Chain A
Amino acid sequence: MREVILVGLNHRTAPLEIREKVSFHEGDLDRYLKALQDLPSVVEGLILSTCNRVEVYAATRDSERGVDEIKSFLAHQHHLPLSEFEDTLYIFQGEEVVRHIFRVASSLDSMVVGEPQILGQLKSAYRVAHATRATGTLLNRLLHRTFSVAKRVRTETRIGNRAVSVSFVAVELAKKIFGHLEGRDVLIIGAGEMCELAAQHLRRGGTNRVLVTNRTWERAMELAERFHGEAIPFTEFTNSLLRVDIVISSTGSPDYILRKEDISKIIKERRNRPLFFIDIAVPRDIDPQVNSIDNVYLYDIDDLQEVAEANIKDRQQEAQRAEEIVATEVTKFCRWYQSLDVVPTIVSLREKLEEIRKKELERTLSSLPRLSEKERKALDALTAAIVKKILHGPVTLLKETSQDSEGDLYVDVVKKLFRLDEE
């Protein structure tokens, strides 16, 4: 029976220099997959290569030999001596592989737990492997199961729900306030990395125009160009508060540049259309009292940081729940996998048919009480021969294919055809 193995390394076991060297170029994946399948012990293969991990999954005829072959495959393909990265490799077999791939897809093994990219990367790795026919029954089944486990984790836990970086928290808040960001305009006061990051995320979230103001006009122009926005003279930015919905402020001013009175007046002129201020300047740019005005929301850098930290804590809790889901799914998958063993299937197939034969024979015999002992024996032999003949084909096929990539498929089909699981 084939066993699934995994040879890989990730951001925890290997430094970047090694990950770079061992990673597979996406465009050449099909070639690598072919080479992987050419290894004598490997029946099915899958290569997952991202900036944080390189993992080779395989279904093998012999797992020990398979591991060695894959190790030298990695060294050979990247023209590296194996000794250079052998210590950074982790090797899993059977149930451990199932657990690992479920955890990877559910983003429990990621650098930032809960980040969603890894699932997409795994899906595209599988797409390539499937297209080049590198995967067979075992890996296909495993990967499909993996995707549904990842989906279950997504829907049943909040693992990926919450922003964990300050700039994403700002976007999340904007959505919480406005509902959607389409058509909302943003004003950036001052400059700074955080400011730009938040503006970029907002833009990706769907905001409309970006206005930029800065004490130095050139800087404002420069930023406006980068965001395809509009530069506004610093002396006039209060007027533009009538036009925008979200304000990101980060100037070096020692005093508040916006006071409660200013905003009260503006909000009245805006006919109470909500305004969201994100003040990431230290010292702060906006009077904290502004938050007490109806329809005005103000978050400073500490507020954002606090939300981000709370979200991280929440994710860790959710990761616990996700691990539980993964654990039950691993048990389920392994039970299915073990059921694919050929020998018990043949035994239960024989038992089932024998049972049917006995029952039917008894019924017939009891309705024919005048048969002689010899005739009874003949009937018994006849039915036994029929069953044997019927069984001959399927049993030979099961035995023959038990080492092929399709063996499990036949076992599965036979079990379904004869309803061997329903007892």
Chain B
Amino acid sequence: MNVFFFKITLAFYLGGTVAYLIYILFSYKRAAWVGKFLLGFGFISHCLVLTFRYIEAGHPPVVNLHESLSFFAWAIVGAFLLLHHRYRVDVVGTFASSLATLLVIWAAALPKDVIPLPPSLQSYWLPIHATFAFAGNAIFALAFCAGVVYLIQERLVKSKRVGNLSQRLPSLGILDEINYRSLTIGFPLLTVGIVTGAVWAQYAWGSYWSWDPKETWSLITWLLYAALLHQRLAVGWRGKKAAIMSIVGFGAVLFTFLGVNLLLKGLHSYAEWFR
């Protein structure tokens, strides 16, 4: 059941991404509409995948890498659908759906076995910590997408090439607003994610903070976004600088999420990686 819906989800996301790419490459308006629907269906199917997986495993499906990638993709698509409800920014969809699809493809290539959770980690802090951390990260992923689009659009407007491509991209004002909104929503989520993680660590390992690489890198990520938020509010940073910062920040998010586990060893490494 779970595997079946996982394949369906992947198919929908792939379809959605292709539709969004057609939209941006050939400026075919209906493709964006189709893309949104495919992503929506994919999202529903993805919800089923996560539910089945939860029931099967008996713990939230955020324990091994397969599950985490899949959950992250789910959060990104969910955040995009919410964003799309508020702003008509189809182009951001091109990036968000590509990112989610890549994550799901990667997840598909990984072992899908349910790993029994060590008793020390069996706690209701797991879903709370994971949900906040992933929700924050998903919103930063959107800020990243909006940042990339901002930089492209800014270049086009500055160099006076406001042709078809520029026409399809959202305005600089909207993109910057998305950047700001994502920051004000994503930052508190990340903060809560880190704090709940620390509390959980206290229960599980007996110490709030042990400078394990994952913790260190989350702190670095948090500091980067804190700096951006501060600069925005205090100095009035916006536009290009804010876009670049949100791209750098997302780099740190990805490194915290993946790089740390792939390259460094620590308490958070969820069992086997590539097998």
Contacts and interface: CB of A to CB of B under 8 A. Distances in A.
- A is bound by B: yes
B203 interface: no
B172 A176 contact: yes
Contacts of B172: 176-179, 274
Nearest to A271: B236
Nearest to A295: B239
B160 A177 contact: no
A137 interface: no
A62 interface: no
B173 interface: yes
Nearest to A181: B173
A158 interface: yes
B86 to A, nearest CB: 13
Nearest to B153: A176
Interface in B202-238: 235-238
Interface string A287-312: 00001001101010001001100100
B174 interface: yes
Given A177-B157, A297-B158, A158 B171 contact: no
Contacts of A331: none
Given A272-B238, A295-B238, A177 B171 contact: yes
Interface string A79-112: 0000000000000000000000000000000000
Nearest to B172: A177
Interface string B151-178: 0010001101011101100111110010
A58 to B, nearest CB: 36
A294 B240 CA distance: 7
Contacts of A303: 160
Given A176-B162, A176-B171, 16 more contacts: A155-B30, A158-B164, A175-B171, A177-B172, A178-B172, A178-B173, A179-B177, A271-B235, A271-B236, A274-B173, A294-B241, A295-B240, A297-B157, A297-B158, A299-B160, A310-B163
Contact of A307 (B162, B170, B171, B240): B162
B173 A272 contact: no
Contact of A177 (B28, B167, B173, B241): B173
A294 B162 contact: no
A180 B239 contact: no
B84 interface: no
Contacts, number: 65
9 contacts: A176-B162, A177-B171, A179-B174, A272-B237, A274-B173, A295-B239, A303-B160, A307-B160, A310-B163
A158 B162 contact: no
Contacts of B158: 291, 297
B191 interface: no
4 closest cross-chain pairs (CB), A and B? A271-B236, A179-B173, A179-B171, A179-B174
Chain A: number of interface residues, binned into ranges? 20 to 34
Nearest to B241: A294
A314 B177 CA distance: 30
Contacts of B235: 271
Interface in A264-285: 270-274
A162 B167 CA distance: 9
Given A179-B172, A295-B239, A173 B167 contact: no
Interface of B: 27-30, 153, 157-158, 160, 162-164, 166-167, 170-174, 177, 235-241
B167 A180 contact: no
B163 A176 contact: no
Contacts of B239: 272, 274, 294-295
Interface of A: 155-156, 158, 161-162, 172-173, 175-180, 270-274, 291, 294-295, 297, 299, 303, 306-307, 310, 314
Nearest to A175: B171
Contacts of B30: 155-156
B31 to A, nearest CB: 11
B225 to A, nearest CB: 19
A294 B171 CA distance: 16
B230 to A, nearest CB: 14
Contacts of B28: 156
Given A271-B235, A271-B236, A176 B157 contact: yes
A161 B238 CA distance: 29
B164 to A, nearest CB: 7
B103 to A, nearest CB: 30
A307 B156 CA distance: 12
Contacts of B173: 177-180, 274
A272 B236 contact: yes
B45 to A, nearest CB: 29
B167 A161 contact: yes
Nearest to A304: B160
A300 to B, nearest CB: 10
A158 B163 CA distance: 12
Nearest to A179: B173
A176 B166 contact: yes
Contacts of B27: 158
A55 to B, nearest CB: 31
Nearest to A306: B160
B163 A314 contact: yes
A21 B273 CA distance: 83
Contacts of A273: 236, 238
Q: Among B29, B237, B239, find the residue whose CB has the most chain A CB atoms closer than 10 A.
A: B239
Contacts of A175: 171
B109 to A, nearest CB: 39
Contacts of A176: 153, 157, 162, 166, 171-172
Contacts of B167: 158, 161-162
A178 B237 contact: no
A307 B166 CA distance: 12
A340 to B, nearest CB: 31
Q: Among B162, B170, B174, find the residue whose CB has the most chain A CB atoms closer than 10 A.
A: B162
A265 to B, nearest CB: 14
A255 to B, nearest CB: 24
A155 B157 contact: no
A331 B170 CA distance: 38
B240 A314 contact: no
Contacts of B153: 176
A310 B162 CA distance: 9
Contacts of A272: 236-239
